[in-house]
Amino acid sequence: MKANRKQSKILAITVSLGVAAVITLAYANERTPNAQQQDVQRAKYVAEIAKRWGPQIERRYGMASGDWTNQMMGTFVSSDVSNLRRAASARSFDAMTGALFGGSSAGNLPTNRPLQIGDTENDLVMTPLPPCRIVDTRVAGGILTANTTRSFRGWTTTDFISQGGSSTNCGIPENASVLLANVVAVNTANPTGYLTIYPSNTNQPNAATINFVGSDIANHIALKLCRPGCTNQFTAFSISNTHIVVDVYGYYMEPVATPLDCVVNTETGNLLNLNLINVTSTCPAGYTATGGGCGGPLGLTVASSGPAVDGNGRPTGWTCGLTTSIIGGLLGYEVDATCCRIPGR
């Protein structure tokens, strides 16, 4: 027990130093004091994740947690600090993964639920890519022997040359969730049978990616990948000797955090009597009120301040209940509504 605790402590220290070193090399002479403080927090959260989930990482992926952390280093360095903080405090491995990629873990949500922005595995964004080859066993690796499996990389920071593919990384980001791919069985030995491709961390499914009818048979698929931090991302099984070609032309991943599109709408005027009046600053069409405020000269009294809502309960602006002295009324008032929307067409 003492030895395990000592190893965990050493791992945590090593991870912290590793994250700090990667950030330093990537951003030398570019880090502001605030960014440097975030780097310290980032290293702390990564060490907590590696320490807490090390045993489960070894069971799931068959690799030491230190190796997994090295695989994940690029993702850790680029992750939002708030996502890392939520991931470090997650109560399950799936929740940790969901938080790390900026969403809510699908495994921890009820079966029947409305989608939320960033729901992990439920609200993924597809990014198209120019067609790019990531596997060609005719070029490297050789034929896939009947009734055997072979695992492949679905993303890389360098290239796919070792798999017979492109000399680039095809623009696929680290820990992508799904690849849009065209899979071809080439020079198949037997005219009957099937080929199955599936995530490397799952059991072989009772399903076929390609059913052989002669040779050079292709199929377009959405290829789910093993993640996060797997050594290989997908595995192929064939019931016949065959070569495999995989071309990718897009991927799915959690949406990148996008700043809200916000404007401040201001309503001004004068109070020409001493009675209480309600003044509303209304948001532009398509915007939702997220806050507001009331202001004016000395003598203006704010009796109430709060969101204005429509019949469906949606905040459409900001309302202030105002009273004033005669002098204050002549000098005027100002009602502000902060109005935001999610960017898009």
Where do we find the tokens 């202030």? 320
Cβ contact 117:123 at 8 Å: yes
Token readout for 198 is 């599936």
Between 326 and 55, residue with greater pLDDT: 55
Q: What is the pLDDT of residue 264?
A: 95
**Overall average pLDDT of the 186-204 stretch:** 91
Q: Say if residue 297's pLDDT is above 70.
A: yes
Looking at residues 176-193, what average pLDDT do you find? 92
The 10s digit of each residue's pLDDT in 64-90 is: 888 888 888 888 887 778 888 888 888
Q: What is the pLDDT of residue 31?
A: 56
Structure tokens at 172: 């696929």
- Say if residue 330's pLDDT is above 80: no
Q: Which class is 125-253 in CATH?
A: mainly beta
Inter-residue contact 101 to 173 (CB < 8 Å): no
In whole angstroms, how far apart are CA 173 and each of 242, 275, 279? Answer: 29, 62, 50
- Predicted confidence (pLDDT) at residue 171 exceeds the cutoff of 90: yes
pLDDT of residue 305: 92
Pairing assessment for the beta strands 217-224 and 315-324 based on DSSP bridges: unpaired
Q: Kindly list the domain boundaries of the chain, sorted by start residue.
A: 2-89, 125-253, 261-341
Listing DSSP states for 252-313 in one string gives EEPPPP---EEEEEEEEE---SSS-EEEEEEPPTT-EEEEEEEE-STTEEEEEEEEEE-TTS
pTM of the model: 0.67
Sign (positive or negative) of CA dihedral 152, 154, 160, 166: positive
Q: Answer whether residue 17 shows pLDDT above 60.
A: no
Report the pLDDT value the prediction gives residue 190, as an integer from 0 to 100.
Answer: 86
Provide the pLDDT for residue 4.
Answer: 47
Given a cut of 80, is residue 154 above it in pLDDT? yes
> What DSSP designation does 242 have?
B
Provide mean pLDDT across the span 294-302.
79
Q: How many CB atoms lie within 10 A of CB 32?
A: 9
